[in-house]
């Protein structure tokens, strides 16, 4: 007698244990895949299109009753889902920008992430963080890495101090922050100066949250 566990583990596999190949995709099946993907993941039109094209390469296009295959217009399918609101590049960009900013990443990293996701240049520009948000993200990253006023005061060998500062600058720049912001934070004497710096930018923007 074969146990239920054995039956469960053999699903999707041939009798010899090899993984069973999934059937080729028709337009209806590809549309179902697209809807499932859009429901499970926040995505852009470009990412969804890349996913569907990959699935077509992996599984091929299904033949009709006459044994013929018809090309599936993947861009048109994606455009239709965008039109229906299942995929929204602007909403994705706002969400991704907020997430990266809350993790302490700067405007350059936001731009790079949105570009890699296929977000249009106009949307990337509209989503770019303002000065107050840039400063908040830089301060958050400095806190996480215990840099500037958030870490121990530099002391000891001047060469070691200089190297530690260069390492801190490089880390902040890799996180996407402006050099002017990095320099200000690393040179700050204490939290009072940091708070004033943040407040100045927030007041200049009318306390507008740009993330």
Taking each helix axis as running N to C, give the angle between helix 89-102 and helix 107-116, from 0 to 180 degrees, rounded to the nearest 10.
Answer: 140
Q: What is the pLDDT, as a whole number, of residue 210? A: 44
CA 192 from centre of chain: 33
- Show the CA angle centred on residue 178, arms to residues 173 and 179, nearest 5°: 75
Query: Which tokens sit at 54?
Result: 């990959």
- pLDDT, tens digit only, all 211 positions of the chain: 445 555 544 555 655 656 667 888 888 999 999 999 999 999 999 999 999 999 999 998 887 665 667 788 999 999 999 999 999 999 999 999 999 999 999 999 999 999 999 999 999 999 999 999 999 999 999 999 999 999 888 777 889 889 999 999 999 999 999 999 999 999 998 899 999 999 999 999 885 544 4
Q: Integer distance in angstroms from the first to the last C-alpha of the chain?
A: 60
Query: Which tokens sit at 172?
Result: 């902040």
Q: What is the pLDDT, as a whole number, of residue 207? A: 59
Alpha-carbon distance 159 to 47, whole Å?
47
Q: What is the pLDDT, as a whole number, of residue 14? A: 58
Dihedral sign, CA of 194, 195, 199, 200?
A: negative
Domain locations in the chain as residue ranges: 22-84, 89-204
Q: What is the pLDDT, as a whole number, of residue 8? A: 47
Q: What is the pLDDT, as a whole number, of residue 99? A: 97
Alpha-carbon distance 187 to 38, whole Å?
46
Q: What is the pLDDT, as a whole number, of residue 36? A: 96
Q: What is the pLDDT, as a whole number, of residue 24? A: 86
CA 167 from centre of chain: 26
**How many Å is the maximal CA-CA distance in the chain?**
82
Q: What is the pLDDT, as a whole number, of residue 1? A: 47
């Amino acid at each position: 007698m074969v146990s239920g566990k054995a039956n469960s583990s053999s699903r999707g596999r041939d009798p010899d244990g090899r993984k069973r190949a999934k059937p080729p995709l028709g337009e209806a099946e590809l549309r179902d895949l697209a809807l499932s993907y859009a429901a499970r993941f926040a995505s852009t039109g470009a990412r969804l299109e890349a996913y569907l094209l990959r699935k077509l390469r992996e599984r091929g296009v299904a033949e009709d009753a006459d044994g013929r295959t018809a090309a599936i217009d993947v861009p048109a399918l994606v455009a239709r889902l965008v039109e229906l609101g299942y995929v929204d590049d602007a909403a994705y960009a706002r969400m991704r920008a907020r997430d990266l900013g809350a993790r302490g990443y700067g405007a350059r990293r936001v731009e790079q992430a949105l570009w890699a996701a296929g977000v249009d240049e106009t949307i990337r520009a509209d989503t770019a963080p303002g000065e107050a948000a840039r400063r908040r993200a830089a301060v958050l990253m400095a806190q996480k890495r215990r840099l500037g006023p958030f870490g121990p005061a530099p002391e000891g060998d001047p060469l070691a101090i200089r190297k530690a500062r260069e390492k801190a600058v490089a880390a902040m720049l890799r996180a996407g922050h402006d050099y002017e912001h990095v320099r200000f934070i690393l040179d700050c004497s204490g939290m009072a100066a940091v708070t004033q710096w943040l407040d100045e930018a927030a007041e200049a923007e009318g306390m507008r949250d740009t993330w």
